[in-house]
Structure 1
Amino acid sequence: METLNNYPLLIQVTGIVTLSAGMMIIITLTVLYVNRLRVKKREQDFQEAELIILDELNNHILKYNAITEIPSNELRTTVVRLNALQNKNIIFKQSLVKLLVYFKLNLTGAITRIISSTYSRLKLREFTLGKLKSKFWFVKTQGLTEVQEMRDNHSIPAVATLVQDQNEDVRVAAYSALLKLNSKTPFSFLSEEKDELSEWHQILLIDTITKAEGLELPEFKVYLGTDNKSILLLCIKLIIHYQQFDAVPKLLSMLDHEDEYIRNQVICALGMLNAETAEQRLINQYPLESNKNKSQILETLGKIASGFSVEFIKDKFLKAEHFSLLKSAAAAIVSHPIQLKEMILNSFTELDDEQKAVLKHYQEPLNLYGIH
């Protein structure tokens, strides 16, 4: 330090900063290394715990076809051993839940009842429900996933409390759990959710709804009056998936919606529902829309392909003001039934090279099946 004092102040400051930075780098690297070792050790502990529990389950539980087939002494001693393991530490308890959830998801028949009985006898439900009260959102979502995968209907009241959670991931996980568990009002979130759900969360909810067993579906048109854009889009997708044709009049009224993307999805839905009654309204709507929505209208008319809009589509093809409209009109023409398509194509007497090329492109085998 005395030697350092012999140097100018700037050099002294530079030396102290360099030394401090070096120490910080060493400390940071040490912390990263220690954390990495801890993570690796934890992973190894989980693997060892899973192997021990898996061996116990395979040898004394899963080899039977029904819980009544397990000798009472063996069942009692097995439950005692598994209890001892889960009480050993949190790693064994979480590993036990993880394995039971895995088997519940991937096995069928009577064996799933054995898994549910084991879950109940070991009082793991209380452990899972404890996660729903955690202050960490990811722990709550883990607990919600475990509840729904174990089909724990007794936990519906606890799950329902999380639909008001401030975290969107937790709310969506709670919605999914209530849908999977087939609660009394599993679709109430469609009218109660105030925040915009991300597209990923919409996909998760659609996946849950379409895969849930014994779910009584509502008429999703009822929820099309909401101000929540994400819920609107979700309901439109569900109307398409379940082919709820009685929603067509409500969808037609939504062509006046102020949001361009909502109108785009409504136009698409009308095509997917083959709504012939919508054709004239779509034709009237055409000049009011952007090029993107105009293209969607042409493609929708092509999907419906009743013959009513042939002259309109031909006119837009011949007088296309933008290449995207030319492509959509060509796709719409080719989408018509063979006889009608041939009649349209034969009616063209003078086409320029670009029009011919686009028509040829959409008549290629792959493009005929929508692979553009």
Structure 2
Amino acid sequence: MSIFDNIFHYIGQLYTDRLPYFPTNIRASLMIILFCVIAAIEIYIYILFKRIVKMREEKQIKYWKEHIGNVLANIIVYDETDNTAEIISHFYPRFKKIPLGNKIVNQIVVNEILLYRKNFTGKTAEVLSQLYRKLNLDKKTRKKIANRNWDIKIEGIREANEMEIVELASAIIKYTDDENALLRMEAQAAYIKLSAREPFHFLDRARERILDWHQVVLFEIITKNKKLTIPSFSKWLYSPNDTVVMLCLKLIEHFTQFDAEEELKRLLRHHNPKIVKKSVEIIGKLELANAESFMFEIYFDQSEEIKLEILNAFGRISSGQYADFLSSRIYSTDIKIKKEALYAIKRDPDNGKNKLREIYNQTTPENQALIKHVLDDRIKQE
């Protein structure tokens, strides 16, 4: 009998024949030890099982990813002289042999098609889109969008966006004002692309904030999409949502929408100083001379930051109507205000530099030094 047989025999006798004769505390300790040993063995077996399953899964993923990638690669190099229907009928049987009922394989097919669709245009993109529908993958995308979990919803929305499944726009619109910021952003970005008639309808119902980084994303999508029909964004400057107003102001600036003049003048008295500042900035860039009087009216009630923007706007417009006002600003106690006023005067193409020289002969040594600085064309305005 080996040493291991002796050990197992002893343990067996310990827990069967001798256990009842031990004191209570020793019996309890032995039972705890037995429980811990059994639990440790079960844990090791579970870990081993999970590793085997994971290895098989990784092997399966590697095989199917390579196989599906090869099929899709063949679509790309296929003769483009054939029409789309012929190409699909040629490759569809190959995809039908793939076990799409398997969740892992199904997701690999979706991911690979999305990857190729994102990187190719023309007939290849058209074939991939139609193949996606023919394999009923769009139905799974719809189910994902209706899922309770927000991360799965996002996955579905991204799929619909990439594959341009326009009929899902009506399902996506309800998430464009969701409490979850990530879901809201994905839904808004997708809706702009998928809604043919009213791509900006989500702005009408937006109550949640459009975060700054989200505004950057939407701005990129809107300005780079050549298929979009750009509306007059001034209609949303009445929105009670300040972030909607701010986004529309940026778009008005980018698309130089002069028809927003009246709304821009109204926003000069907005409760949000960021909106006031942006409105002044746009008035200056669009050189809206009719808005000068409105800026003058609010000037003395504003912060230094907005005052500087107003002076800059006066300089951009350079109508000459507020030349005396600009001249008076050089006697401000704020050095930044002085410099901005002097630069605004200089911007007058007809008489700016002459006006500064005239002021130079009548003002203080401190102001004369500033005027010299402003008149020096080698020094760029800060």
Give TM class, smaller chain.
Answer: 0.7 to 0.9
Is the contact made by 2:117 and 2:162 (CA closer than 8 Å) also made in structure 1? Answer: yes
> Which of 352, 359, 376 is the matching residue for 1:341?
352
Tell me, what secondary structure is at the counterpart of 2:228?
A: coil
200-209 or 238-247, which deviates more: 200-209
Conserved? CA contact 1:61–1:114, under 8 Å: no
For residues 341 and 42 of structure 1, the distance between their equivalents in structure 2, rounded to whole angstroms, comes to 75
CA deviations 1:244-287 (Å, max 9, x no partner) are 11111121122222222221111112112211111122122211
How many angstroms apart in 2 are the aligned matches of 1:38 and 1:361? 74
Distance 1:325 1:44, change over 3 A: farther
- Structure 2 CA distance for aligned equivalents of residues 302 and 43 of structure 1: 65
SS of structure 2 residue aligned to 1:51: helix
**1-structure distance, mates of 2:142, 2:284:** 45
Per-residue deviation, 1:113: 1.3
Q: Deviations over 1:67-123 (max 9, x none)?
A: 637867xx5563233344362743433333233223333322222211212212222
Return the letter of the residue paired with 2:66. L
Aligned match for 2:337, one of 313, 325, 346: 325
Aligned counterparts of 2:183 and 2:51: Cα–Cα separation in 1: 28
Shift of 1:303: 2.2
1:269 aligned onto 2:290: no
Counterparts of 1:113-192 in structure 2, within 5 Å, are: 113-163=126-176, 165-192=178-205
Q: Is residue 280 of structure 1 aligned with residue 293 of structure 2?
A: yes
Equivalent residue, structure 1, for 2:67:
52
Distance (whole Å) between structure 2 residues aligned to residue 37 and residue 282 of structure 1: 72
Aligned residue number for residue 203 of structure 1: 216
TM-superposed deviation, 1:302: 1.9
Distance 1:188 1:254, change over 3 A: same
Correspondent of 2:251 among 234, 238, 246: 238
Amino acid corresponding to residue 64 of structure 1 in structure 2: D
Contact persistence 2:233–2:248 (CA under 8 A): yes
CA distance in 2, matches of 1:188, 1:226: 13
Instruction: Evaluate the alpha carbon distance shift between residue 115 and residue 336 of structure 1 in structure 2; reply closer, same or farther with a 3 A threshold.
Output: farther
Identity across the alignment (%): 26
Letter in 2 for 1:59: N
Return the alpha-carbon distance in structure 1 between the equivalents of residues 380 and 304 of structure 2: 22
The one-letter code sitting in structure 2 at the alignment partner of 1:344 is K
Which letter does structure 1 place at the counterpart of 2:70? D
Instruction: Compute the TM-score of the two structures, normalised by the length of structure 1.
Output: 0.77
User: How far apart are the structure 2 equivalents of 1:343 and 1:164?
Assistant: 55
The offset of 1:50, in angstroms, is 3.8
Contact 1:254 1:263 survives alignment (8 Å): yes
1:164 deviates by: 5.2
Task: Supply the distance in 1 between the matched residues of 2:379 and 2:117 (Cα, whole angstroms).
Answer: 42
Q: 1:90 aligns with which of 96, 99, 103?
A: 103
Q: Quick check: 2:239–2:245 contact (8 Å CA) kept in 1?
A: yes
- Choose the corresponding residue for 1:102, options 105, 115, 131: 115
> C-alpha separation between the residues in 2 aligned to 1:197 and 1:70?
42
TM-score (norm 2): 0.75
Q: Which has the higher contact order (CA 8 A, sep 6+)?
A: 1
Q: 1:361 to 1:50 in 2, by over 3 A?
A: farther
- Larger radius of gyration between Structure 1 and Structure 2: 2
- Give, in angstroms, the shift of residue 153 of structure 1: 1.3
Which amino acid is 1:345 matched to?
L
Indicate if the aligned counterparts of 1:264 and 1:293 stay in contact, CA closer than 8 A.
yes
Equivalent residue letter for 2:260: A
One-letter code aligned to 1:177: A
CA distance in 2, matches of 1:261, 1:60: 52
Gaps of 5+ in 1: 1-26
